[in-house]
Each structure stands twice: as C-alpha cells, then as structure tokens.
C-alpha cells in the first residue's frame, strides 16, 4: 500500500514540521506592536482610532506601529490578562476589571487610575432605555419599568460589566425616589421580577431585544442603544433618556509589566494619551461614546442629551466597594435574586 | 428488506415518516437556514465576508490546527490501538478508559485545564514566562486543546476493529520472517485502512469545529488566534449576520463533505467484508 505509506509519511512530516513554524511572529521589520485587550462594543471605535494613531505616531517618531485587538466580555478579558494574555493596554468596561489585574496579577500599580485624566476614562457613556418604535408601553422613566405587563431586558450583573452599570443606575433611581437604600432595594428587586431572561453579556441582551424581539425595554449602554437605533434597526427603535442615570466610565490603562517586557511602554502610553486629543475625541463621539473633552462634547450635543448622573466614586464609594456590596457572592444582587 | 417484517405496512410508513420529519426539522432546516442567511444579500457580500482579512486568517488558522492535530492523533491512534489489541500488559484497561477521557470531559473544562497548567499563574506559567515561551492565548495552546479534544477519534475507531481481527495474521507474518514494519505495512494497514480513514475524517471534522476548549485558550486576538468557529461567534455578536453565516456555511460545507466522504468509506468498508460496529 504505497498510498497509505505516503499519507503516513506526509502526516508525520507535517506533525514534525508545523509546530516549528507556528511560534513567534513578533518584531517583523522593527515595527512596534501593541496588543489592546478590550471589551465587546469597542470594536468599531478602535477600528477608527488605530489607523489614525498609527499615522500620528509615524509622523511624530517615524516608526510604524501595528495593533493586535482582542474583544470579549470585560470580566472575561480581565481574567485572560491575569492568566497571561499579554496585553500592552487594557481598555475595559469598568475600573473594577482593571483593579482585578492590579490586585491579582500585580501587572500594574494599584493607583493606575490616576495615570491619565478623567479617572483614566477618555470616553464615557451612560445607561439609557431602548424601546420599540412609538414607545407602545409609554416608557418615560424608571418607574414605568415596574408597571404590570412591562418586560425588561438587562444582562446578568454577575457576568456583564454593562449589567452592573444598569443595576447601579436603577439603584440610584430607587434611592432618589424613595429616599433610602431600603427603598432602592425594594425597587430593584421589583425591577428584576420584570426581567424574563438574563443574558450573560451586553451584546447578548441587545441581540435578545433587537433580533429575537423579546421584551418591551432594553436597559443598555447609551453607545449600544445608539448603535441599535441608528444602524441595526433604523426606524424600529427609539431611545428614552431616564430622569437619572449613572456616568459609566470605561477606563484605559497601560499594563505596565507586559509593556516593559515588550519594550512598548512609550508607544502604549502615547496611544492612550492620543485618545484625549480632539481628533480621537471626534472619532469617539462618532462611535456613540461621550467624549471627555467638553468642547467636542458640545459639538455633539444633539446625540448626547443632558441626563442627571450619579457617579460610581461619589455615590457608591468606588468600584471595589460597589463590587463587594452589590455583586460579590452573598451581596445585594444575590439577596434580591433569591428571595422573591 | 431482506426478510418480511411482522409490522403492518401502515406502521412502517408512519415510523419512516416520523424519522423523516424529525430529520427535516432538526437537521435539514437549520442547514438550509445557514446557507440561506449566508446568501441572503447575494453572492457578493458572501464572498466579501469569507475573503475579509480576519476571516482568511481564521480559515488559515483552522486549517493549520487541523494539519497539526490530525496527523498527531493519527499516529497516536494507530500506536495506541496497536498496543492495546496486540499486546498484553498491566494497566491496559486503564489506558482504554483514559483514551475516552476527552469524550466525557466538558470542552470548557479541557480548556481550563490547559490554562491551569500553562497560564501565567499555572503550574508551568512562571517557567514559560522566564523562557519567553507562549502557549496559552497563542497557537500552541489552541493546538494542545484541539489535540486533547480529538484524541480518542482514531483510537476509538481502530480498537474494536483490530480487536475483532485478532493477531493471527500478524503472528503468521512474523513466523514467516517478516519484520515488524513489514508486518504493519503489508498485513495490519490493509486490514484497518478504511476504519483508519473514517477515524481521521471524524477527527478532522472535530478539530476544525471545536469551539469550547479553543475559546478558553484562544485569547481572541483578531487575525491571530481566532479559529473559524470563534470567528463566527464574533461576527454574530457584531451584528454582522451575513458574515457570520457565510463563515458558518463554510464550516457546514466542510461537514457535508466529511459526511459524503464518510458515507462512501462506510460503503466500501462494508463491501470489503469487514464487520462494522
């Protein structure tokens, strides 16, 4: 059986030869490479930012820079960096996920969030409602979400960064309306009885609402809601801005130890600082994130309405505290989701 | 219909009908849906989607992974089943059970296992970091996970076959003065070739289609560590439904080719008079 033998020989040859050429792959032609590990909805944003920064860096230093992008759920991405995914920069959904990298893997200093302006958040967003065209259930504010017969879509705060912002925004409303944490808990517990499915991530929840047509209102990142309203189902949805929401600050940070290992500290830092330039801020606004620069923000006034917002630091004592109180095992979310 | 059955004609028709309806609903309809969605916007967007740089790199990576893991498991499968069926040694039944392990472990667990071993905080993590070797969140990790997952396919196919055939022919060959390699080439291989090819096909299909374990160790770096199944999920999550289904239809096409090849092989396999299982 000559054929069989040839197949075997080929197979053996492949098995021996291929692993040899699969490793490495870095540092071709002296170009610098930045690995940006980000969360799900920033794909379009960084697709716009990366070539612009590459041009800027080339002009400034004469050097080429290329990018490796990884997107996924924020908590999962944080875990992957801790497990060794060699990110030069982390651009995640909430500070807690970068805190975890600093705490557990010590890849960057604990005070990383002071390295850049605005809590290291070059763009922000907030939590809004997305409803079906014509707003058939008459949703105006948080109080309308707990009316009989209203179905609310929000992902699971245990796994989704976006869902944690949703939860805290709802809490802020409950506290304002009822005047106490007690009232807030009652409101949020009531709210979650209106949630038919808890998706594991923000994108999954949007797909549930938009594609599968489940639910009357989606509590979502403003950038996700705008994307759904303007791009996905143009004319099928509309955004409702609630009376109170939360300032969502997705932070960015250089993962110092990885960058040092790859000799990319300088370019990684410049990359994140570039996000604050007017040029990048316009790209940020065009991708439906709120720019941190007030001047650019003013230009996009019609896209981003004024919503009174609480902040994680002032109203919840920062992410470490909020995570512990609300979302860790035995926290408020566990309490309200078990006792009905 | 070799012999007449005692069931009535009506019952036969009903049973066949149920089976066909079931098949249509659970297999044919989803398959049509995949191709339908992929070609919904016409052939242009379909071609754009499968020739996008990220898609091409996912296709390349998937082929590379299969090209490494299938030969490895081919060699392993033949060696293992040879050892198990031709020799007596202590711990044989444990070895047989161990070969089955990847079938019984959830793919997510398989992936996490490698993270625990080779991740930055894993057993070998510090050593790997010191020597600047990357396994997890790089191609070697994906290969490892795939090799693990597809481990049993070839061996599982060959062991029952070789057991049934016994070792008489090999013993005869040896007693006539054939060397070990000659015996394998001229006696064993011709006997097992169809079973072997069948195992390789199944192994290949799984190697290209594996999602769970690969997802855990991939790191999802675009254009670098995304395989086709991972790329499908990403496109779907990015609302690029045409793109997602276009890549999915390539995978489905591969499954169909495998299926046809398998059917042909099975047919020839039975023709050669070897009892199938």
pLDDT one-digit tens code per residue, A259-316: 999 999 999 999 999 999 999 999 999 999 999 999 999 999 888 999 999 999 999 9
* Res B4: pLDDT: 56
Residues in chain B closer than 8 A to A155 (CB atoms): none
CA-based nearest distance A317→chain B, Å:
30
- Which residue from A minimizes the CA distance to B226? A70
Identify the burial level of A101 via C-beta atoms within 10 angstroms of its C-beta, where 0-12 means exposed, 13-18 middle and 19 or more buried.
buried
Q: What is the DSSP letter of B221?
A: B
Asked whether the beta carbons of A246 and A162 are under 8 A apart, the reply is no
Does residue A245 sit in helix, strand or coil? Answer: strand
CA-based nearest distance A15→chain B, Å:
5
Please name the residue ranges forming H helices in chain A: 2-22, 43-61, 74-82, 95-100, 117-120, 142-145, 161-178, 181-192, 202-210, 222-227, 256-262, 265-274, 278-286, 294-299, 312-316, 318-322, 332-338
Position with higher pLDDT, A73 vs A183: A183
CB contact under 8 Å between B222 and A231, yes or no, is no
Asked whether the beta carbons of A320 and A99 are under 8 A apart, the reply is yes
Q: Does A40 touch chain B (CB under 8 A)?
A: yes
Say whether pLDDT at A14 is over 50.
no
* Res B273: pLDDT: 52
The pTM of the whole model exceeds 0.90: no
How does residue B103 score in pLDDT terms, banded at 50, 70 and 90?
A: confident
The minimal CB distance from B140 to the residues A1, A22, A72 is found for A22
- Among the listed residues A218, A202, A192, the one whose alpha carbon sits nearest the alpha carbon of residue A338: A192
Say whether pLDDT at B174 is over 80.
yes
Residues in chain B closer than 8 A to A232 (CB atoms): 239
Looking at chain A, how many residues does it have? 340
First to last CA, chain A: 70
| Residue B28, C-beta contacts closer than 8 angstroms, at least 6 positions apart | none
- Among the listed residues B236, B176, B241, B247, the one whose alpha carbon sits nearest the alpha carbon of residue B209: B247
CA-based nearest distance B22→chain A, Å:
24
Asked whether the beta carbons of B207 and B69 are under 8 A apart, the reply is yes
Place of tokens 């944490």: A181
* Res A9: pLDDT: 45
CA-based nearest distance B236→chain A, Å:
9
- Which residue from A minimizes the CA distance to B217? A80
Does residue A123 sit in helix, strand or coil? Answer: strand
**ipTM entry:** 0.76
The minimal CB distance from A68 to the residues B129, B221, B237 is found for B221
Say whether pLDDT at B89 is over 90.
no
Write out the two tokens for A10.
């080929």
The minimal CB distance from B193 to the residues A1, A35, A43 is found for A1
- A290 - beta bridge partners? A124
Write out the two tokens for B1.
């219909």
CB contact under 8 Å between A84 and B125, yes or no, is yes
* Res B272: pLDDT: 62
Say whether pLDDT at A81 is over 90.
yes
d(CA A102, CA A304): 33
Quote the distance between the C-alpha of residue A137 and its chain's center: 29
Total beta-carbon pairs less than 8 A apart between chain A and chain B: 95
- A91 - beta bridge partners? A38, A252
Q: B111 — alpha (psi -120 to 50), left (phi > 0) or beta? A: alpha
- Range scoring the smallest mean pLDDT among A116-130, B161-175, B262-276: B262-276
Q: B5 — alpha (psi -120 to 50), left (phi > 0) or beta? A: beta
d(CA A269, CA B237): 30
Q: Does A320 touch chain B (CB under 8 A)?
A: no
Give the helix/strand (H/E) hosting B228.
helix B228-237
Q: What are phi and psi of A72, to 5 degrees?
A: 180, 180
* Res A130: pLDDT: 94
Q: Does B129 touch chain A (CB under 8 A)?
A: yes
């Amino acid at each position: 059986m000559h054929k069989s033998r040839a197949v075997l020989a080929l197979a053996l040859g492949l098995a021996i030869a291929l692993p040899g050429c699969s490793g490495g792959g870095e540092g071709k032609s002296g170009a610098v490479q930045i690995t940006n590990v980000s969360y799900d909805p920033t794909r379009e944003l960084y697709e716009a930012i990366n070539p612009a920064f590459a041009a800027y860096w080339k002009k400034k230093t004469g050097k080429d820079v290329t990018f490796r992008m990884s997107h996924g759920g924020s908590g999962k991405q944080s875990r992957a960096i801790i497990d060794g995914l060699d990110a030069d920069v982390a651009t995640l959904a909430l500070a807690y996920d970068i805190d975890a990298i600093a705490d557990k893997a010590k890849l960057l200093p604990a005070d990383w969030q002071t390295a850049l302006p605005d809590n290291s958040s070059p763009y922000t967003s907030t939590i809004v409602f997305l409803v079906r065209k014509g707003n058939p259930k008459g949703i105006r504010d948080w109080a309308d979400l707990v009316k009989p017969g209203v179905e609310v879509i929000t992902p699971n705060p245990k796994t989704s960064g976006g869902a944690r912002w949703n939860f805290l925004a709802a809490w802020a409303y409950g506290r304002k309306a009822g005047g106490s944490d007690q009232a807030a808990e009652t409101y949020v517990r009531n709210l979650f009885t209106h949630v038919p499915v808890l998706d594991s991530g923000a994108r999954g929840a949007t797909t549930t609402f938009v594609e599968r047509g489940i639910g009357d209102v989606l509590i979502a990142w403003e950038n996700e809601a705008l994307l759904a309203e303007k791009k996905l189902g143009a004319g099928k949805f509309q955004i409702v801005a609630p009376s109170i929401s939360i300032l969502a600050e997705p932070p960015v940070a250089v993962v110092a130890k990885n960058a040092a290992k790859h000799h990319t500290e300088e370019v990684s830092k410049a990359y994140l600082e570039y996000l604050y330039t007017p040029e990048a801020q316009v790209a940020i606004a065009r991708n439906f994130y709120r720019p941190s620069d007030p001047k650019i923000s003013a230009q996009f006034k019609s896209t981003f309405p004024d919503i009174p917002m609480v902040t994680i630091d002032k109203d919840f004592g920062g992410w470490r505290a909020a995570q512990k109180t609300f979302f860790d095992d035995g926290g408020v979310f566990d309490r309200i989701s078990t006792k009905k | 219909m070799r012999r007449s059955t005692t069931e009535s004609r009506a019952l036969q028709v009903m049973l066949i009908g149920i089976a066909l309806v079931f098949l249509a609903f659970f297999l044919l309809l989803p398959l049509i849906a995949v191709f339908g969605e992929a070609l919904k916007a016409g052939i242009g967007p379909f071609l754009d989607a499968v020739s996008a740089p990220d898609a091409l790199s996912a296709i390349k990576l998937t082929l590379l992974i299969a090209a490494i893991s299938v030969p490895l498991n081919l060699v392993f499968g033949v060696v293992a089943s040879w050892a198990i069926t031709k020799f007596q040694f202590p711990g044989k039944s444990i070895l047989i059970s161990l070969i089955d392990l990847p079938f019984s472990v959830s793919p997510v667990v398989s992936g996490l296992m490698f993270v625990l071993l080779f991740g930055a905080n894993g057993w070998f993590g510090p050593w790997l970091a010191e020597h600047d070797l990357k396994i997890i969140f790089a191609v070697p990790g994906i290969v490892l996970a795939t090799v693990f997952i597809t481990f049993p396919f070839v061996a599982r196919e060959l062991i029952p076959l070789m057991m049934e055939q016994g070792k008489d022919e090999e013993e005869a060959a040896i007693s006539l003065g054939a060397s070990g390699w000659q015996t394998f080439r001229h006696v064993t291989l011709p006997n097992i070739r169809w079973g072997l090819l069948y195992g390789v096909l199944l192994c290949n299909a799984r190697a290209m289609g594996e999602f769970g374990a690969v997802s855990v160790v991939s790191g999802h770096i675009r254009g670098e560590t995304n395989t086709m199944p991972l790329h499908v999920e990403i496109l779907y999550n990015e609302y690029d439904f045409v793109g997602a289904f276009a890549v999915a239809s390539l995978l489905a096409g591969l499954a169909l080719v495998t299926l046809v090849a398998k059917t042909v092989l099975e047919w020839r396999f039975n023709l050669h008079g070897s009892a199938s299982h």
